[in-house]
């Protein structure tokens, strides 16, 4: 597995609404793997790999795959007279995990998130109003950041054995799975539309407009999911190292049971380790695909991930590879669920 590609993807800057930089990286890796590429009006990248093995007289099904390329981030709301910046979230930032982390802006300016003293300073989870970013400015005039500037967490990916730790596994791990599946996919009876969507973290926006344009017969999202295998974790069957996760339901979607059954069948046929995922809070591009236009059967292949929406999201390379293998197995054959 190309760990260096995953490293490049996770370390590239690209909060919601600012995905141009990561989109260029993805485009570069898709050359030679797909037949067409375009960028839609929202900024999502849509790549088409045409069917090569359709039976005579049959029309290829339009299969939309979606992995979102944005990451959680923050936006500057105020810079005070001493040059300290206040901020709000862009996506699901968790204040409890932010203090002490470094942040980086589009132009390379780096700062650190700190917490002010106050009546809530010792609380379990501080409010955004208690946090500030110090970019080393001596006053407001000399500050290199201004209201409206967006930033993201700064951190390098690390590896220990089969475990990878880094920011933006959500959902650069899904982006990686999609790219690598396209690389493995030599022949398919389906027209495969690989969508790298924007603004998922703020409401599934890119996938919704892309699905309207693609108008798929089938939809499959690639995203991360939570696990229940660490101390005091929510009760959940998914665990690191036990295989890819096939979504049953989350708070935004009930996966199409026919498509879910086909995913399980393909996993069993290819001896791919898998788990069934029921996520009680959270959603993915699956819901946007399922409800676009008149709707489409949709499901999701999820990568088990610890500590989602933190700077230290953790995945297992075996689960990532199982996700690649399952997606390839699904696309290599007709998707007959009618």
The answer to whether residue 200 is catalytic is yes
Token digits of residue 66? 């979606």
**Residue 11: closest CA among 166, 180, 178, 175:** 166
Catalytically annotated residue among 19, 180, 200, 313: 200
129 backbone dihedrals φ, ψ, rounded to 5°: -65, -15
Spell out the residues 6+ positions from residue 170 whose beta carbon is closer than 8 angstroms to its own: 71, 72, 223, 224, 305, 308, 309, 313
How far apart are the C-alpha atoms of 172 and 246, rounded to whole Å?
18
Per-residue DSSP letters for 270-336?
Answer: TT--EEEEE-SS---HHHHHHHSTT---EEEEEEE-BSTTSTTEEEEHHHHHHHHHHHHHHHTS---
Alpha-carbon Rg for the chain, nearest whole angstrom, is: 20
- Helix or strand holding residue 9 (H, E): helix 3-11
The residues assigned a catalytic role are 200
């Amino acid at each position: 597995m190309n760990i260096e590609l995953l490293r490049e993807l996770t370390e590239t800057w690209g909060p919601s609404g600012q995905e141009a930089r990561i989109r260029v990286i993805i485009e570069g890796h898709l050359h030679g793997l797909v037949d067409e590429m375009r960028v839609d009006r929202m900024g999502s990248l849509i790549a088409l790999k045409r069917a090569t093995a359709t039976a005579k007289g049959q029309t290829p099904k339009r299969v939309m795959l979606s992995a979102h390329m944005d990451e959680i981030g923050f936006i500057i709301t105020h810079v005070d007279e001493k040059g300290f910046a206040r901020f709000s979230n862009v996506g699901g930032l968790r204040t409890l995990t932010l203090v002490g982390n470094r942040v980086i802006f589009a132009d390379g300016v780096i700062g650190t998130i700190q917490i002010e003293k106050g009546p809530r300073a010792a609380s379990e989870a501080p409010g955004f109003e208690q946090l500030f970013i110090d970019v080393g400015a001596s006053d407001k005039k000399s500050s290199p950041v201004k209201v409206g500037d967006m930033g993201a967490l700064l951190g390098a990916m690390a590896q220990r054995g089969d475990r990878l730790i880094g920011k933006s596994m959500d959902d650069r791990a899904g982006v990686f799975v999609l790219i690598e599946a396209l690389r493995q996919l030599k022949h398919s009876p389906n027209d495969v539309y690989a969508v790298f969507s924007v603004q998922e973290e703020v409401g599934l926006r890119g996938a919704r407009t892309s699905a309207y344009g693609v108008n798929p017969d089938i939809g499959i999202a690639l995203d991360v999911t939570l696990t229940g295998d660490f101390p005091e974790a929510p009760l959940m069957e998914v665990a690191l190292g036990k295989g890819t996760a096939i979504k049953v339901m989350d708070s935004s979607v009930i996966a199409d049971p026919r498509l879910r059954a086909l995913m399980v069948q393909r996993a069993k046929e290819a001896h791919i380790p898998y788990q069934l995922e029921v996520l009680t809070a959270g959603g993915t591009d699956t819901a946007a695909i399922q409800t676009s236009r008149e709707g489409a059967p949709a499901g999701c292949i999820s990568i088990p991930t610890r500590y989602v929406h933190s700077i230290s999201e953790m995945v297992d390379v075996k689960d990532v590879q199982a996700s690649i293998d399952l997606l390839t197995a699904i696309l290599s054959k007709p998707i007959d669920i009618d």
